[in-house]
Amino acid sequence: MKAANLLSTAVLVGLSLASLAWGANAQSRRDAAMERCIAQAQAQFPFSGDLSNQQSRTASYKACMRAAGQRP
């Protein structure tokens, strides 16, 4: 009985650690995509203070994030 409880606890701990690692990796990928997409949008549409320029920059960022499989 104790061996089954110990095994069950070990499995739960293992799954929890795997879940945390996956979440950290997913966040790391999202952060990298955000940095890349922001840089791309800024390069394509440099700041000019113009509203249409800002809208184009936003659209570029969103398209880049979607292409990376991320939510903008």
Domain segments of the chain as ranges: 2-67
pTM given for the model: 0.65
> What is the enclosing helix (H) or strand (E) of 49?
none
- The DSSP output letter for 72 is -
- The Cα–Cα gap between 3 and 48 comes to 67
pLDDT at 8: 63
Per-residue pLDDT for the chain (72 aa), expressed as one digit of tens each?
Answer: 666 666 665 555 555 555 555 567 889 999 999 999 999 999 999 988 888 999 999 999 999 999 999 999
State residue 47's pLDDT score.
87
pLDDT value, residue 49 = 84
pLDDT for 7 = 61
